[in-house]
Amino acid sequence: MRIVPRTLWQVLPLVVVPLLASGAGVRAQDAADQNHAGLMESSWRSQSLRDTTATGPNGAVTTAEALTVNRQMGVERKAITEVAPGVWSLAGWGIAISYAIDAPGGWIIIDTGDTVTAAADMRAMLEKSLGRRINVAAILITHWHYANGTAAWRDPGSELWGSEILDATREAEFGLSPVSGVAQSRAVAQFGVLHPRTGPDSFPNVMGFGPEKLSGETNYVPPEKLFPQGRVVTRTIAGEEIEIAPMRTDTMDSVAFWFPGRKLLVTNFAVTPTIFNIFTLRGGPYRDPMILVNDARWIESKPAELLLDIHNAPVKGRAEIKAAIERSTDQVQQIHDQTIRLIAQGLDARQAAEAIAMSPALRDSAELYGQVESHVRQVWNAERGWFGNDVYDINPLAERDEAARTVAAMGGAPAVRQQAAKAAVDGGIDNWRWALRLTSLLLALDPADADARAARATAARAMGQRTTSANARGFYISEALQIENQMLTPEGQPVTVDLLRRVLGTPRPDRLKAAPVPQVLDYLRYMVDPAQAGTQRYDFTLAVEGDPATYRLQLRNGVLIPSRAEAPSATHLSLTRAQLADLVLGTGPFPGTGPGLRGFDTLFDRSQFLSREAVAAKLAAPPNQP
């Protein structure tokens, strides 16, 4: 019998029309709706939330699980420990552990720490423990996060090793970027950088950072000896045979090291007590979970007897290492796979986050950094985009209009204000969440609503104290503190996350002068105001002192297009580095006054920039934004 393939359009009528005629289509939709309702509990709450609190040694009010983090990660206190013959752990100087290995050709240091001060302290304590000075033959960098103490470790002749994309990956995060203010201010909120150091609002573990983390002296040096990206290679470094493999976890430049002669594995954020942060609340590039899972097959294949992850206490013994790797890897894969399963069942991102069910052995007490629901939403959005199932979301009302109509339907602002205050005072996870929702509506209408702000601060603080997730706590407590004008700079000035966004997002003149010219021109692209540009067109070439290249700038349809040019055009502009910085910041006269140049400097939106004087004025005034 010959089978003739049919197109989708040929098959659909054969299936859909009989279903509609019989009413089965309606029944199928009802069944689907009931299935979705069954998957989601009406009183759903994240498993990372707790009803009871505990108090830490620094007075932090938090969850019992949060108080175990430092011990589980092996960073309870500063300690130099020989974890195997010739292998030393340098723990307690922050969230990450550095390692020192006494190799045949000299010492190998793995990761140099957060700051030069921390690195110098580590080295001094190591040499004191050894009773002698060491000669560092090589520095190996797992990834760019903890490569800031190089000056304290590097000796004459020290080799500096890292991924071939390490420097570019770091530059993408720290270089000139239009979103740097958003990224840095949200990091300040998440890590509790401006939270009190002691008391109920202080951070309960090393997942919170102090101002010194961001302001301490750093010495980053790009690696000179490079590992090829995405390939497993073997190198002899300081007389030690080492296999290097991609182990892409929280950054794409991340690598793992296998020392076959020592049966030693060294990893970054691959095997830890907490579920890997597929999504971090501060935001960032997508961390594809399956890249991590596939890379982890390599570390699974090694007969390791000692595993040192820079975010974990040492794991010893083949059986223990196998179990630890399996747990960490399977956590990530299960979140990914189960999200795909729920997508296939027709659930949107929020519904999938509420419906996901993980194996207890993988989830219990493991949401110490992020929370599973955040990871589910991130995978959903990466796979399917932002739109779920609710057609209202295609063209919703303006946020303020929606809030106004909702508040009116609930009896008006006084009634909603009363409900929010009652929910905050009555307490309980559901009531505090409801208070946050109600105050979101009220503050959309009036950001200065004092009663709504007070209820919101109460609810946010209570939620922050009852989550095991460090990410969530950081944002909850930051919200409460900024409402109360208690998120303070080291100088004691109150700030908000939004003010920090503006301050940290304003490029420093010295940074603009030092940045590569193409980077500065790219930055200008994101400053174009289409309303101001209108139908204007510009096309000229540009030269900047110290850069031999010639650049072409085209503006058309409100779009700026920088490119390289072979030679200057008839309309040409030469700028000093200072003048280029002034063009970005709008702080000096624009030298382009001739035909084809006049008015070019007026096309850019600088409304979010804050001068030093404006920053000082802002800091001196109490914030009025929630």
465-523 pLDDT, tens digit each: 999 999 999 999 999 999 999 999 998 999 999 999 999 999 999 999 999 999 999 99
Helix H or strand E encompassing 159: strand 159-163
CB 563 within 8 A of CB 539: no
Written as one letter, the residue type at 61 is: V
Q: Per-residue pLDDT for 294 more than 70? A: yes
Residue 172 is predicted with a pLDDT of 87
Task: Kindly report, residue by residue over 152-197, the tens digit of the pLDDT.
Answer: 999 999 999 999 999 999 998 888 999 999 999 999 999 999 999 9
* Residue 64 main-chain phi, psi, to 5 deg: -60, -35
Q: Which residue has the higher pLDDT, 279 or 618?
A: 279
Mean pLDDT of 310-331: 98
Weakest mean pLDDT among 445-459, 466-480, 529-543, 602-616: 602-616
**CA-to-CA dists, residue 533 to 230, 563, 583, 603, 604, angstroms:** 43, 19, 16, 5, 8
* Strand ranges across the sheet with 550-556: 559-565, 550-556, 538-544, 572-575
Angle (CA) 447-448-449 rounded to 5° is 95
Instruction: Give the N- to C-terminal CA distance of the chain in Å, as an integer.
Output: 71
CA distances from 151 to 43, 169, 597 (A): 54, 21, 46
In the chain, the amino acid numbered 492 is G
Confidence (pLDDT) at 42: 62
Given this model, what pLDDT does residue 3 score?
43
Give the integer Cα–Cα distance in Å for 191 and 278. 17
**What CATH number is given for 73-329 in this structure?**
3.60.15.30
Residues 6 or more apart whose Cβ sits within 8 Å of residue 84? 262, 264, 306
Residue 60 has pLDDT above 50, yes or no: yes
Beta strands 225-227 and 98-103 are unpaired
Q: Alpha carbon of 51 to those of 204, 285, 367: distances in Å?
A: 17, 33, 16
Average pLDDT of span 236-246 = 99
pTM of the model: 0.92
Please say if the pLDDT value at position 21 is more than 50.
Answer: no
- From residue 400, alpha-carbon distances to 43, 296, 387, 440, 441 in Å are 28, 47, 21, 10, 8
Evaluate if residue 626 carries a pLDDT over 90.
no
- Considering the chain, what percentage of its residues have pLDDT values greater than 70? 91
pLDDT at residue 213, rounded to an integer: 72
pLDDT of residue 277: 97
Whether pLDDT at 407 is above 60: yes
Strand partners, 62: 54
Arch. (CATH architecture) of 399-487? Alpha Horseshoe (1.25)
Q: What gap in Å lies between CA 356 and CA 275, rounded to an integer?
A: 15
- DSSP code of 600? G
What number is the average pLDDT over the span 591-620? 84
Token code pair at residue 330: 């399977």
Strand partners, 315: 307
Residues of the chain with CATH 3.30.1050.10: 507-603
> What mean pLDDT is predicted for residues 107-121?
97
Residue 350 neighbours by CB distance under 10 Å: 17
pLDDT at 36: 56
Q: What backbone phi and psi angles, to 5 degrees, belong to 133?
A: -80, 155
Q: Which of 264, 376, 301 is nearest to 331 (CA)?
A: 376
Q: Where in the sequence of the chain do the CATH 3.60.15.30 domains occur?
A: 73-329
CA–CA separation, 53 vs 174, rounded Å? 37
- How far apart, in Å, are the Cα atoms of 469 and each of 189, 360, 492, 501? 14, 17, 28, 24
Give the pLDDT band (50/70/90) at residue 43: confident
Cα–Cα distances (Å) from 284 to 114, 274, 277, in that order, read 20, 19, 11
**Second-level CATH architecture of 507-603:** 2-Layer Sandwich (3.30)
Q: Say if strands 106-110 and 136-140 run parallel, antiparallel, or are unpaired.
A: parallel
